Amino acid sequence: MLSDAKKKANAKWDKAHMMILGCKVRKDFAAQFREACAAAGTTPNAVLKQAAEQFLKEHAVSEGKTAVEECA
């Protein structure tokens, strides 16, 4: 179990370094997607993050590097 101090520190770090990406989809589509992810033993977040990383690998950004490579 995390202490309150650790939770606060994690929240501060997340606020400074993380961002949420999102898209609107119909509720029935979202439910079907969540079910498919669960059946595959993964999460919607993991699937979307993998898709975003693959897209960045295929589409170079500034100076011929991808954002994924720049973060590595």
- CA 61-24-48 angle, to 5 degrees, is 50
- Contact (CB, 8 A) for 49 and 60: no
Q: pTM, whole model, 2 decimals?
A: 0.71
Cα(70)–Cα(66) distance, rounded to whole angstroms? 6
d(C-alpha 54, C-alpha 68), whole Å = 9
pLDDT digits (tens, 9 = 90+) for 46-58: 999 999 999 999 9
Return d(Cα 43, Cα 49) in angstroms, integer. Answer: 10
- In the chain, where the domains are located: 21-57
Task: Return the pLDDT at 12.
Answer: 97
How many CB atoms within 10 Å of residue 32? 12
